[in-house]
Amino acid sequence: VRSAAEMAAITESDLGFVPTMGAFHEGHLSLMREARKIHDCLCVSLFVNPLQFGKSEDLDKYPRNEERDFAMAGEVGVDILFAPAANEIYPRESTIVHVPEITDLWEGSLRPGHFDGVATVVLKLFNLVKPRTAYFGWKDLQQCLVIRRMVEDLNVPVSLSFLPTVREADGLAMSSRNVYLSPEDRARAPKLRQTLIALAKALSVEDRSVASELEVARKTLVGQGFRLDYLELVSLNDIRSTLDTKNAALIVAARLGATRLIDNLRLGADVI
């Protein structure tokens, strides 16, 4: 489906929805397979949303491969692939959805406007697709919390399902941006996950100082050649830094070369 009007005209009572920006990898496919098992009708959107990219970010370079994506969606049994044009989604300057508080930190502060772009497009897509349930990957943990908050605050009639991060055999979280890694950086990249696991184990021992364990882990990553944006223990309620390991997650963003990697580990919830 190419046009928003056509999409809006479809009324399926049991529709599962996976919003994506294309360049499918196993992470996307696992969301689709899960939704496929549950719903009568499965819709996947493929839209590289210009509103969520900063001026200096990689909108023009973002990996695009529609033909391959179409073929993969067919194999997974997607019923509707919704791939609208940008000028149809944004025919004029758009009203913006701004989720407060949880967008101030981490990805929100490093990528100003990013979550306004995400919240705006996700709400527009929900309104066009009218899903019963929408599926997102936990890899973008802050994005999951932002969408959850938007849906609660604006009473959006959709249920949300957040599914575990899919990883390469060596533990690197799957991401469309991994293709940018040089061979040396690709070999180094799994250290991000390994460091989170070591840190989670250290924090599970009673009386360990959260602040000093975080510092050790930060130094490990920098020593491995990562340029660290942040490595923090945060509350899953409000994504603020916390020293309390209950209902908390480790979140990390770091660069290798020009590639920015993010990952997270939910203490007590993720298998380590």
Q: Applying CB under 6 A, which residues contact ligand PAF?
A: 19-21, 49, 52, 118, 121-122, 140, 143
Residue 80 vs 118, nearer CB to ligand PAF? 118
The SS3 assignment for 70 reads: helix
Pick the closer one to ligand PAF by CB: 126 or 226.
126
How would you classify residue 115: left for phi > 0, otherwise alpha for psi between -120 and 50, otherwise beta? alpha
Q: How far apart are CA 50 and CA 108, in angstroms?
A: 16
Question: Both tokens of residue 26?
Answer: 């196993």
C-beta of 118 vs 192, nearer to ligand PAF: 118
Q: Whose Cβ is closer to ligand PAF: residue 89's or residue 199's? A: 89
Q: At what angle do helices 210-223 and 191-204 cross, to 10 degrees?
A: 160
To ligand PAF, the closest distance from the beta carbon of 110 in angstroms equals 15
Q: Let me know if 114 is a catalytic residue.
A: no
Least distance (Å) from ligand PAF to the CB of residue 48? 8
Nearest Cα neighbor of 270 from 136, 167, 146 is 167
Query: Where do the DSSP E strands lie in the chain?
Result: 15-20, 41-46, 80-82, 133-137, 159-163, 227-235, 248-256, 259-266
Return the SS3 of 31: helix
Of the candidates 28, 39, 98, 114, the residue annotated as catalytic is: 28
Give the residue with the Cβ less far from ligand PAF, 140 or 232. 140
3-state secondary structure 186-240: HHHCCHHHHHHHHHHHHHHCCCCCHHHHHHHHHHHHHHCCCEEEEEEEEECCCCC
CB of 33 to ligand PAF, least distance (A): 17
Residue numbers annotated as active site: 28
